[in-house]
Amino acid sequence: MPELPEVETVARLIRPGLVGRRITGASVAWKRSIGSQSVSSFVSAVTGARFESIERRAKYIVMSLGERGALVGHLRMTGRMHVEAADWDPGKFAKVRLDLDDGRAFHFIDVRKFGRLEFVRDPAARLADIGPEPLGSEFTAEWLWQALSSRRRALKPLLLDQTFVAGLGNIYVDESLHRSGLHPLCLSNRVSAAQAALLQREIRTVLSEAIEREGSSFDVFYRTPEGNPGSFQHQFRVYGRTGEPCRTCGTPIVRSVVGQRGTHTCPTCQPKPRRARRTAR
């Protein structure tokens, strides 16, 4: 599933082709792509609206239509977004088409049909339960330490929790924890202030580097709106590198399952936490 860097890349690349453009018509080939709204009400809501901004919130792309509301898109596993010439063929997996006033069209394409492009009146309310953005000003070292200290959860499942922090997924949590020297099973309330500061810095560094490389293409599905693969997968230190030497110490990377997610660690750089001893009664 595309994570923050991939979604940010998509938002940045479709933004120039959409902002300022008016929607002159709409068609829906797969109703579930637009959520619970009927096709007729969706078409009515968006036709005539003008795109005012294209932003990312967590793993969502928020396309503001001004006072009307917004289109909120989630790529899920195989969703793609394109702004192309009117006669461009999106193929058999096209789900939603929006005709634009400059003669081009926006296409939402989704092979596995899990993605969504929903019209909402209040996007802030729709995304209200999502945590702070890891690249935003609220995500400070002090905030992270306090937030970790107030919980007693394994680090990886907590960092994957979108109500805790926005946009992180399996790839970038594994990479950030390795760079921080923290094991995914380490309890959050046992992370020191210094460790939290390092983790905060490495999360931001990993995400920024991944955005510069237009995300990670570890399968055939993720491509940018220009049709190009991302390249951050060539920088992975642990993710998907089971049995390969750690780029820091040379120890073979191991794969385990944490919180039902495939997890990659270096046993030397990320020592597994010891279990707390039970107090004898």
Q: Which residues belong to the active site?
A: 2-3, 59, 261
The encoded tokens of residue 98 equal 């929006």
Write out the H or E segment, with its range, that includes residue 82: strand 79-85
Q: Give the separation between CA 180 and CA 183, rounded to whole angstroms.
A: 9
| 267: CB partners within 8 A, 6+ apart | 251, 254
Do residues 265 and 256 make contact, with C-beta atoms less than 8 angstroms apart? yes
Nearest to 174 by CA among 239, 102, 97: 239
| Residue linked to tokens 């058999």 | 92
| Residue linked to tokens 């990670």 | 216
CA 69 to chain centre: 22
